[in-house]
Structure 1
Amino acid sequence: MLSVVIPTYNEEAMVPRTAAVIADVLDAASIPFEMVFVDDGSRDGSWDRIQDASAASSRVRGVRFSRNFGKESAILAGLSSARGDCCVVIDCDLQHPPAKIVEMYRLWQDGYEIVEGQKASRGSEGALHSLAARIFYAVISKATGFDMAHASDFKLLDRKAVTVLVNMRERCAFFRALSSWVGFKTAAIEFDVADREAGESKWSTLSLVKYAVNNITSFSTAPMQLVTVLGVIMLVISVVFGFISLAQKIAGQALEGFTTVILLQLFSSSIVMISLGIIGYYIAKIYEEVKSRPRYIIAEACGTDADGQPDQEALR
């Protein structure tokens, strides 16, 4: 059986449409499936729509977070609740084309354990957003050693890969990178990002920046290496200006260059503060990890278990 995991946040207009489209696609391909909607603390009627879809079909289940925990947590919660032999993660806004699920499933039947959905185009993004995305993926690709220029959360995972991901103990998980890091036999398919049918993007510029910083620092120590690089740069600058100061002293011009000294002090102070900020951010990440709080809290669930009884397993 295939489990389709659908993270959902303020998508009341899309939940019925998404459930219907995915069901039609998989029924036409004769693929046994279930859908697991994960309501990430939505403030609209998303949970009511998920409950309606679950009441209309025994193949639809849902879990609702007690508050918004973020998309990464929603994905992991869906994978934890999924009962299928393989799982597909897909966005609720249908910008990931459901028809590609069939192609992913056939590749899984051929023996592939992870099937990556790679973006052939990014849809109707703004120029600034597109530039920021390219910079982020260039940085994360360099940091992780994987080419993530066209990566997405749209992918199929075999049960083995799902078990590995769910059992990872880190709190700040970056699903897009971790699903590549775990290895296994991998294939890739390309897709074009579709336009939204309803609603609007829930990602603001600030939230995207926070998402990028959080994921880079949670998966890589590259920013910590930046501190070392900045230190080396400051050492070189200090040596150069040290020789200049010594030459001026010998030449009897020691009073000249006072402005340069002030600028150098301001520059070095800025580097020190930036370095302390980077180190402090990593210390904060360590603090979050050692508290060992749960990744998410499930408030309620809907749907039935394998025996047709109310699904209580998701609440554990």
Structure 2
Amino acid sequence: MSVLSVVLPAYNEELMIQKTCSVLRQILTEAEIEYELVLVDDGSRDRTWNEIEKAGKEDTHILGVHFSRNFGKEAAVFAGLAQASGDAVAVMDCDLQHPPQTLVEMYHLWKQGYEVIEGVKSTRGKESLIHKKCAGFFYGIMSKATKVNMQNASDFKLMDRKAVNSILSMPERNMFFRATSSWVGYKTTSVRFEVQEREAGESKWSAWSLVKYAFTNIVAFTTVPLQFVTVGGGICFLLSLALIIYSLIQYFTGHAVEGYTTIMMVLLLIGSAIMLSLGIIGYYIAKIYEEIKRRPRYIISQIIRGSQDVSEHARHDSV
């Protein structure tokens, strides 16, 4: 019988571990789906790992992965994919904002022959107008980079084993799972879902962390920001050309161009454009430096299968 592995990244989710495992166990058992729950503790500061160990003692289908420190959600997702042993692998949030019932629909679509089933948000839930606009801008860039419509995309998806293996075979360290799973291709379909309200705990994403997350993933997946540098340079050139023509016209018509104000405006415009361009280029160089070092995406300190410690026999991220 085919096994479905469900990867659940968790960071400070002690209040949700037991509930999430219980709900998934009930839904997948009633649907007669053989399952494996891969819970990845991303260096939580609360009792998340203790709750995972407790859940493992109650259910032998649970595989717990404990990071040595916080490495971020992307690392947790890829660790879960690497440890999962199922014929199909789903990724969803541990806070149940991704409705577990949708997993059954995804699984049946996979049985019909689809290899990547994307979860697409019907709405973005309760978000501010600014957050929605920024998210729209971000996914617009990612859609152009992947050649796939990623508006309202999410990490909630189910993939065939060969799609998972294709993702894990990619050597880069800075990888954006949400875009990479679309980029690999394969026979793809989608299901729509409503974002659920969080039952316990609180969101780990501040406005600043979302901005950093977005920019890091844009740089990791596309060179569009470097094209902004080229476009910005072209705009500055056109503005300077217009200013030169204006100054020459004023000179030959006997009118003096205001000196100090004009010079300061030009210097500030060019200086800020140069500094911004250097910042973008520098960020790409920093990411190149990180890739060259070839450090692992994450470090695992312990792995449990049910109540058994299986750290020595588990698959680890390659260096």
Distance 1:81 1:285 in 2: 26
User: Which amino acid in structure 2 is aligned with residue 280 of structure 1?
Assistant: G
User: Which amino acid in structure 1 is aligned with residue 284 of structure 2?
Assistant: Y
**SS of 1:160 mapped into structure 2:** helix
Name the residue aligned to 2:203: 201
Distance 1:199 1:259 in 2: 54
Residues 39 and 46, structure 1, Cα contact 8 Å, conserved in 2:
yes
State the 1:124 CA deviation.
2.2
Name the residue aligned to 1:242: 244
Q: Decide which of 70, 79, 82 is 2:81's aligned counterpart.
A: 79
Residues 64 and 301, structure 1, Cα contact 8 Å, conserved in 2:
yes
Residues 83 and 315, structure 2, Cα contact 8 Å, conserved in 1:
no
Alignment of 1:71-110 (within 5 A): 71-110=73-112
Q: Decide which of 150, 153, 156 is 2:155's aligned counterpart.
A: 153
* Deviating more after overlay: 126-135 vs 17-26: 126-135
State the 1:257 CA deviation.
5.1
Residues 247 and 257, structure 2, Cα contact 8 Å, conserved in 1:
no
**SS of 1:121 mapped into structure 2:** coil
Shift >3 Å, 4+ stretches: 254-258, 308-312
State the 1:258 CA deviation.
4.2
Distance 1:291 1:311 in 2: 25
- Is 1:222 matched with 2:224? yes
**SS of 1:272 mapped into structure 2:** helix
Residues 105 and 156, structure 1, Cα contact 8 Å, conserved in 2:
yes
* Deviating more after overlay: 161-170 vs 245-254: 245-254
Deviations 1:17-53 (A, max 9, x none): 0000001000000000110000000000000000011
Which ranges of structure 2 fall in alignment gaps of 5 or more residues? none
Deviations 1:106-154 (A, max 9, x none): 0000000000000001222233322322222223223332211110000
Query: What TM-score, normalized by structure 2, do the two folds share?
Result: 0.95
Distance 2:92 2:32 in 1: 19
Distance 2:43 2:310 in 1: 21
Distance 1:58 1:93 in 2: 21
Matched residues, percent identical? 53
User: Which amino acid in structure 1 is aligned with residue 109 of structure 2?
Assistant: L
* Deviating more after overlay: 56-65 vs 120-129: 120-129
State the 1:309 CA deviation.
8.1
State the 1:244 CA deviation.
1.3
Distance 2:220 2:310 in 1: 36
Deviations 1:171-218 (A, max 9, x none): 111000000000000010000000001011010111101000000110
**SS of 2:148 mapped into structure 1:** coil
- Is 1:312 matched with 2:312? yes
State the 1:248 CA deviation.
2.0
- Is 1:289 matched with 2:291? yes
Residues 302 and 311, structure 2, Cα contact 8 Å, conserved in 1:
no
Distance 1:202 1:77 in 2: 19
Name the residue aligned to 1:29: 31
RMSD: 1.6
Alignment of 1:249-264 (within 5 A): 249-256=251-258, 258-264=260-266
Residues 115 and 186, structure 1, Cα contact 8 Å, conserved in 2:
yes
Residues 303 and 311, structure 1, Cα contact 8 Å, conserved in 2:
no
Which ranges of structure 1 fall in alignment gaps of 5 or more residues? none
Residues 42 and 71, structure 2, Cα contact 8 Å, conserved in 1:
yes
Task: From the superposition, tell whether residues 242 and 86 of structure 1 become closer, same or farther in structure 2 (CA, over 3 Å).
Answer: same
Distance 2:71 2:258 in 1: 57
Task: From the superposition, tell whether residues 37 and 228 of structure 1 become closer, same or farther in structure 2 (CA, over 3 Å).
Answer: same
* Deviating more after overlay: 121-130 vs 218-227: 121-130
Residues 299 and 315, structure 1, Cα contact 8 Å, conserved in 2:
no
**SS of 1:173 mapped into structure 2:** coil
Distance 1:250 1:309 in 2: 85
**SS of 1:115 mapped into structure 2:** strand
Query: What TM-score, normalized by structure 1, do the two folds share?
Result: 0.96
**SS of 2:33 mapped into structure 1:** coil
Q: Decide which of 165, 171, 174 is 1:172's aligned counterpart.
A: 174
Distance 2:229 2:310 in 1: 53
**SS of 2:138 mapped into structure 1:** helix
Task: From the superposition, tell whether residues 304 and 20 of structure 1 become closer, same or farther in structure 2 (CA, over 3 Å).
Answer: closer
Distance 2:112 2:13 in 1: 34
Distance 1:185 1:158 in 2: 10
**SS of 1:190 mapped into structure 2:** strand
